[in-house]
Structure 1
């Protein structure tokens, strides 16, 4: 069993080092490991079953809907209105433009459900604006990448849906509600860093807008912000499921972008639909391949072995959870969120439950961990997008990223060791 596990890990990381796409790395590593333990025909049959069974879930239908709605919103003029609203509300504070960047990324990430979309849409406008006002370009790029990850916690979030599937029973509605406080805490922590950085550098403060203009900007952003209340309100009240909420989000974003804002034309829709299909296919292949890997991990009893090893190292929950966090932070720096959640949830969730942590609490912790990985070198996807938008390099933004990273890590520790941060709102709405 130990030999099979070593083969799985070795093949997987060798393929990753050779720049083989992660879904194929997972699939090939799984096939090689299965052939060591099982004859060819049952191994091939099992892999085929797990690939198909891994994506045979009604809850996963929400993902293509939210992907499509996010793409429509990315081109629908929503980012511009959210930025203008944020500017009207907090632009006059110290470090105003940096605060606007964080708030805009948080709102857009929450609406679109995509950290990459938030980085591209908000960063393409805010980074040049901040540079014009004297902000360091590398700091602006680092800030955009960090702030965009809050959309992974604040619903609608595809990765929370994937965790619900991987955990085998956590309610999507409870996860959606649980993500709000941690997501807001991350945004606030980044804002504190921005305010201190702006004061230290002496950046200018934006002029306060007339009340009438502030009101106009808020009203203009209300239709975009309503999507959050429609989706989450409908799920919490039981009017519709998360999958149905995804379909409603598509219809609403279409009406908003095509009819109300008129930023998306009908001839643009086929291209958006094709991009949505490509993204969904990539995600589903990752889910199928990761499900096959999860099966072989379970077959070889690897999760139980790791659980026993961790619990044997220490009986102190603080130490064990710290080890899990550090492991996940390292994983997040090298692996995409979807396979990481599908592979490491069955490994670490039993350990967390043995320590008295609820699956809901653990879900928020693992997603926050891997969200930090999105903006962590060397392979953080959001980091690459932000660097491309700012026309800079990863090496140059590492230094300004450090205080932002520390702020996010502090929030991670708070979320890990204070269950109420994740469980208060679900309990309040009767979802825990």
Structure 2
């Protein structure tokens, strides 16, 4: 039965069924085939999976990004970054990366970064003489920084991730309305509707992933996976390499949040048994899923940047390839020298290690 469900899911993905519908249908079909589990469990798990204060951060981050774009805050960030590094050789590319770093610390949305900043900087880079592939590659690769949460308030203990997203929304709204006068009160309903449309894509996929997680727990998939890795030669090193390859594939067609909800509980027992720090595992999973956003055939940031420039996905990936390979090198260092990457969290939270 498990093999049949996997084949069914792969077929849905290959024929272009939206990932949220594929997850939901496989969940319902799998649970319906088990007489000991009522079908209502699917809907209960979907509801309970979204009934979370933490997950409020998802629509709030998207709202913050929409408010920034509506309020022309993104334009001003670009101007600041241009004035800071625009005078050096390749300055516009440096400015692109710098503004993505700042944008990631405010909105937390890679897709919003690509769409909002790319519409401005990709044409500007092309006008200045950069080839289309380079403009797309820099924009798409730097936008993956949006996978990092607003760490300033969180590390200081002032905010939770959800509260950080709410603060970003309030800040963007106040700045846009009262200081720059670029956000009109009449536009707020449209901004909220657009936010709900974008949020529903990720959240419905997340709800379906929770239902599928219930099916996986029935089949005790995490224990089976643990049995495979614990007895496999190579131990921790081989395990982490497989994790990177798996999440890189998953990240090409699935949003990061449902991917983590669905698969991290399966691999976490194996990681614990092999002595892999949960912090390192989290870092590797997040960075790898971010790379999925710029990996063909379904990498969303790659598709968005390519569509802005009007080039094919093949040419887009050629442009992003140098940055992709450098990120792979960072992942390799993270796997081999994991203690180095734990130095900062250990210094910040010594009681946790």
The TM-score range, normalised by the shorter chain, is: over 0.9
Give me the whole-angstrom Cα distance separating, in 1, the residues matched to 2:158 and 2:253: 39
Partner of 2:210: 291
CA shift digits 1:237-274 (9 cap, x unpaired): 43443333332222111001121122221111111011
- How many residue pairs end up in the alignment? 351
Give me the whole-angstrom Cα distance separating, in 2, the residues matched to 1:46 and 1:421: 43
Give me the whole-angstrom Cα distance separating, in 2, the residues matched to 1:136 and 1:244: 41
Give me the whole-angstrom Cα distance separating, in 2, the residues matched to 1:315 and 1:296: 30
Q: Does 1:126 align with 2:121?
A: yes
Q: Does 1:323 align with 2:242?
A: yes
Q: For residues 236 and 337 of structure 1, do their structure 2 counterparts lie closer, same or farther at Cα, with a shift above 3 Å needed?
A: closer
Q: Does 1:398 align with 2:317?
A: yes
CA shift digits 1:60-106 (9 cap, x unpaired): 22322222112101222222222222222222223222111111122
Indicate which of 109, 116, 121 corresponds to 2:104: 109
Q: Does 1:366 align with 2:290?
A: no
Partner of 2:273: 354
Partner of 1:12: 9
Displacement of 1:421 in angstroms is 5.2
* Corresponding residue SS for 1:111: coil
Q: Does 1:430 align with 2:341?
A: no
Q: For residues 283 and 421 of structure 1, do their structure 2 counterparts lie closer, same or farther at Cα, with a shift above 3 Å needed?
A: farther
Give me the whole-angstrom Cα distance separating, in 1, the residues matched to 2:33 and 2:103: 47
* Corresponding residue SS for 1:367: helix
Displacement of 1:422 in angstroms is 4.4
Greater shift, 251-260 or 411-420, is seen at 411-420
Indicate which of 92, 97, 105 corresponds to 1:97: 92
> Residues 27-46 of structure 1: matches in 2 within 5 Å?
27-39=24-36, 42-46=37-41
Indicate which of 62, 82, 87 corresponds to 1:67: 62
Q: For residues 267 and 94 of structure 1, do their structure 2 counterparts lie closer, same or farther at Cα, with a shift above 3 Å needed?
A: same
> Residues 224-243 of structure 1: matches in 2 within 5 Å?
232-233=152-153, 235-243=154-162
Give me the whole-angstrom Cα distance separating, in 2, the residues matched to 1:284 and 1:397: 28
Displacement of 1:321 in angstroms is 1.2
C-alpha RMSD of matched pairs (Å): 1.9
Q: Is the 8 A contact 2:140 2:302 kept in 1?
A: yes
Give me the whole-angstrom Cα distance separating, in 2, the residues matched to 1:365 and 1:100: 27
| TM-score for the superposition, normalised by structure 1 | 0.77
Give me the whole-angstrom Cα distance separating, in 2, the residues matched to 1:284 and 1:421: 35
Q: For residues 305 and 407 of structure 1, do their structure 2 counterparts lie closer, same or farther at Cα, with a shift above 3 Å needed?
A: same
Partner of 2:222: 303
